[in-house]
Amino acid sequence: MRPEILVSEVGPRDGLQSIDRIMPTEQKKAWIAAEAAAGVCEIEVGSFVPPKLLPQMADTAEIVEFACTIPGLAVAVLVPNLRGAEAAIKSGAHKITLPLSVSESHSLANLRRTHDQVIEDARAIAALIDDQPEGKRPHFEGSLSTVFGCTLEGAIPLPQILSLAERLMQAGCDEVGLSDTTGYADPLAVRAMIRAVRGAVGVKALTGIHLHNTRGLGLANVLAALDEGLDTIDSSLGGIGGCPFAPGASGNIVTEDLVFMLQAMGLQTGIDLQKLLEVRKILAEGLPGEPLYGFTPDAGLPLGFVPEDQEKIKEAAK
């Protein structure tokens, strides 16, 4: 059953692609299996990019095939183009994300693709998915990257963002997502962007957001997104990751801190927080010496902390 708030773990993809060290395949599998056992029900396990560009992702097909054997886990991947989508579908991925940077400069640096080329890829991927047997069609998300600003271009005009969101949906995406690739977002900007994009593509076409904690506003931005009705939040165990093609864009929000905040608010995540904290040991063993972040893991849970039941909170508020 889908939780009230879906925490989508992106560390095995967005986290590991930003680290020079390559995590051994078996430890990746152990990480993913342990997070799933803790109740995380969606994990972005890798990306189908050329190994010469990101050798950290060279084993993605094997990782996807393994992850698909875990009951109840939605296996997500990132693809840069049609070829990547073909590999993702062949491996059995349940969700495919195609990034479209609203900054064309960043798109060229990240994907080596213009906006028009990415839209063409989206159209081809949607057609490929439609050709799959019923029950074998992955969910298709078009991610609006650098949507809150770009380290190469600065602020991106809102009409350009909205036009690209509309074009992704017209090309056949099931939904669009917002991605603060550069860590520029603030709560007011998050609220305004969600309202604007939903005004262009509809409420059901935007449910998730990918935020960074580059300037310490990650969880504040999550609260703004929740207040606007989004129910899917990306995060990374230990806060590892960023974007190798956006200078200074370090720091995904920390999964452990996010889950603690949500549960302290009485929101249902379906995640056993104590088990989640234990998963860090696997990450530390697989990436020895790599800095891991998070206030909750360092401080521990408050004495007597018990995740609140949302229904009880609603009753108490009456």
Given the structure tokens 């109840």, which residue do they identify? 72
Q: How would DSSP label each residue in 21-71?
A: SPPPHHHHHHHHHHHHHTT--EEEEEE---TTT-GGGTTHHHHHHHHTTST
Say how far residue 55 (Cα) sits from the centre of its chain.
Answer: 20
Tokens of 37: 């056992």
Of the candidates 31, 60, 39, 56, the residue with the CA atom closest to the CA atom of residue 48:
60
Cβ atoms of 295 and 257 within 8 Å: the answer is: yes
Of the candidates 49, 63, 131, the residue with the CA atom closest to the CA atom of residue 92:
63
Catalytic-labelled residue, pool 41, 150, 173, 243: 243
> Residue 250: beta bridge partners?
242
Angle between helices 60-67 and 25-37 (to 10 degrees): 30
243 catalytic? Reply is: yes
Question: Cα separation of 200 and 204, whole Å?
Answer: 11
Cα torsion at 217, 222, 228, 231 (round to 10°)? 160
Encoded amino acid at 57, one letter: M
Catalytic residues: 243
